[in-house]
């Protein structure tokens, strides 16, 4: 699974005593703290009068909160479609509210059973949960929260879709991306440049170039996991991007005079202050800055150049670069002439011809050409690799958690032995007691799984709608394995309810 991030199939496991001991002592401290809190509560409960009547929770109040959560969830989802700028946050909030509403619905299911003994059904197991609903709700919350977290993580996966090929997508609507080891000195859109490299043939008339001058720097893309401070700079004429409406922006500074952030790149500010644009991923993770912050570079004249980040691009082929205006680049880095980065557009059906021709005619410059969508995909692969690993580890954790449900129930059953003994003396068979217990445990197990999935999918809807492809097969297998593991744990734990163990309790009483 790590191949996409490390580009090798050979990994050497590392071990260090420091994190091992840190994890060990952290576990001990947390365990001791929890045990101490539980013991204090238990001892405090011993002093409570045995005649004190247990007051069950209010079903009406729970129902009111349940309705509030469901209504708020529906409202959040509706607003997420109306307010597109806030769709992600509103959908996530709606998913959280739906999560709470479904948990309250499970609680309400048991609270309304407080008269279960009068109904004639005689389900004392369910009656127990009506007086102690937390015993049913807590396992469901833990299962649902884990599933919710794993699905939310999966929704951050980046996939290539047809939207990426549009001008507003990550390719800017361009067909090809090219890089040269030796700068090209000609404007390849001009008649002179086309004649020089043989691009003046009739079948190549539709091919056009956007050329960028490059100043070498650190790799700030996701292919480099180290923190960088001086990424490479590209000098570009933003005119074609403005005309085509190329690329989209995740963040931008406020400026009422300029609606399009690309327009800032043409400004020549005073005091060596100019504007720049970078991929939002680079800003957030590589440089750890945001739109409005300033990067400092030393110009060729020795003066300090201040580049104010005016916008952050949505995932794009420019990941790893700081983009400034062509005129400003020539002003502060005059000797770095010639183009090293190219975006090529034309007829889509002639892409292969364009790639072959460019590779052949510009071979002396050490040119490498690839589809722009392929360049974008290479950045996604690293991000997706980390997310897939985290998701897989989360899935294993959830499956172990479902198995741990058996230990929780074993403790629950041990504390209810006298209740089961009384039911046995009242005419219930061991098989019927086990059957009643299993029915409620299955409800808790499957409601927890349903709650986690049902609340996470709507919460991730904006991501899915914008091209994220959830790993449905892997998620389905995870839920299935959780169900199988949970059922096995329940079947094993319910064997604790055994006639031979209950009869001695009756004799003592």
Distance CA 33, CA 332 (A): 61
Report pLDDT for 142: 87
Q: Given the structure tokens 């021709």, which residue do they identify?
A: 357
Report pLDDT for 469: 64
Distance CA 292, CA 275 (A): 9
Give the DSSP H/E element, type plus range, for residue 204: none
Strand 304-313 to strand 273-279: parallel, antiparallel, or no bridges (unpaired)? parallel
Report pLDDT for 451: 93
Answer whether 157's CB lies under 8 Å from 468's CB: yes
Q: Is 88 exposed, middle or buried (0-12, 13-18, 19+ CB in 10 A)?
A: middle
Which spans in 416-498 are helix H? 417-425, 430-459, 461-465, 472-493
Q: Which residues contact 296 (CB under 8 A, 6 or more apart)?
A: 304, 305, 306, 307
Q: Which residues contact 360 (CB under 8 A, 6 or more apart)?
A: none
Report pLDDT for 227: 60
List phi, psi (to 5°) of 183.
Answer: -60, 145
Q: Residue ranges of the chain with pLDDT lower than 70?
A: 4-5, 7, 47-57, 85, 113-125, 218-229, 255-258, 463-470, 499-502, 505-509
Give the DSSP H/E element, type plus range, for residue 309: strand 304-313
List the one residue out of 102, 150, 96, 77 whose CA is nearest residue 465. 77
Report pLDDT for 468: 60
Long-range CB pairs of 84-93 (<8 Å, 24+ gap) are 87/462, 88/462, 88/463, 91/458, 91/459, 91/460, 91/461, 91/462, 92/152, 92/459
Does residue 309 come out as left (phi exceeding 0), alpha (psi in the -120 to 50 range) or beta? beta
Q: Which residues contact 383 (CB under 8 A, 6 or more apart)?
A: 156, 157, 158, 222, 281
Report pLDDT for 367: 92
Distance CA 378, CA 387 (A): 15
List the one residue out of 448, 414, 321, 315 whose CA is nearest residue 372. 315
Answer whether 398's CB lies under 8 Å from 475's CB: no
Report pLDDT for 29: 97
In angstroms, the Cα distances linking 280 to 114, 180, 235, 252, 277 are 55, 25, 18, 10, 9
List phi, psi (to 5°) of 431.
Answer: -60, -40
Each domain of the chain, given as residue ranges in start order, spans 57-161+379-508, 162-375
Report pLDDT for 117: 46
Answer whether 285's CB lies under 8 Å from 252's CB: no
């Amino acid at each position: 699974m790590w191949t996409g991030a490390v580009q090798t199939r050979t990994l050497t496991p590392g071990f260090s005593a420091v994190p091992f001991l840190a994890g060990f002592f952290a576990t001990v401290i947390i365990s001791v703290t929890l045990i101490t809190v539980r013991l204090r509560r238990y001892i405090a409960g011993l002093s409570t009068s045995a005649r004190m009547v247990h007051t069950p929770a209010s079903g009406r109040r729970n129902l009111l909160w349940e309705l509030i959560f469901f209504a708020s969830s529906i409202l959040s989802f509706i607003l997420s479609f109306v307010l597109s700028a806030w769709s992600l946050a509103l959908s996530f909030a709606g998913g959280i509210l739906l999560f709470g509403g479904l948990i309250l619905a499970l609680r309400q299911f048991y609270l309304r059973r407080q008269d279960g003994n009068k109904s004639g059904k005689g389900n004392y197991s369910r009656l127990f949960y009506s007086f102690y609903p937390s015993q049913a709700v807590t396992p469901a919350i833990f299962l649902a929260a884990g599933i919710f977290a794993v699905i939310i993580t999966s929704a951050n996966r980046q996939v290539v879709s047809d939207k990426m090929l549009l001008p507003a997508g990550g390719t800017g609507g361009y067909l090809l991306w090219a890089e040269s080891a030796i700068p090209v000195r000609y404007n390849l859109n001009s008649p002179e440049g086309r004649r020089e490299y043989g691009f003046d043939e009739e079948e190549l008339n539709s091919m056009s170039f956007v050329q960028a001058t490059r100043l070498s720097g650190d790799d700030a893309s996701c292919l480099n996991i180290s923190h960088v401070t001086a990424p490479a700079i590209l000098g570009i004429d933003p005119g074609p991007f403005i005309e085509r409406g190329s690329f989209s922006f995740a963040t931008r500074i406020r400026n009422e005079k300029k609606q399009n952030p690309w327009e800032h790149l043409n400004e020549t500010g005073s005091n060596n202050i100019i504007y720049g644009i970078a991929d939002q991923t680079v800003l957030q993770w590589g440089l750890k800055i945001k739109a409005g912050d300033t990067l400092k570079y030393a110009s060729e004249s020795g003066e300090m150049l201040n580049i104010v980040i005016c916008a952050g691009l949505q995932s794009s082929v420019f990941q790893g670069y700081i983009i400034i205006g062509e005129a400003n680049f020539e002003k502060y880095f005059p000797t770095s002439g010639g183009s090293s980065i190219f975006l090529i557009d034309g007829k889509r059906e002639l892409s292969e011809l364009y790639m072959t021709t460019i590779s052949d005619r510009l071979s002396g410059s050490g040119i490498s050409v690839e589809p722009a969508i392929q360049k974008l995909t290479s950045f996604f692969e690293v991000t997706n690799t980390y997310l897939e690993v985290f998701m897989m580890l989360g899935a294993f954790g959830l499956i172990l958690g479902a198995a741990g449900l058996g230990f929780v129930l074993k403790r629950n059953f041990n504390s209810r032995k006298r209740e089961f003994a009384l039911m046995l003396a009242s005419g219930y068979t061991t098989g019927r007691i086990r059957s009643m217990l299993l029915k409620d445990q299955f409800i808790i197990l499957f409601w927890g799984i349903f709650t986690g999935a049902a609340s996470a999918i709507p919460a991730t809807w904006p991501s899915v709608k914008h091209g994220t492809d959830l790993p449905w097969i892997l998620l389905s297998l995870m839920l299935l394995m959780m169900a199988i593991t949970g059922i096995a744990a329940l079947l094993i734990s319910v064997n604790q309810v055994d006639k031979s163990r209950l009869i001695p309790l009756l004799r003592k009483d």
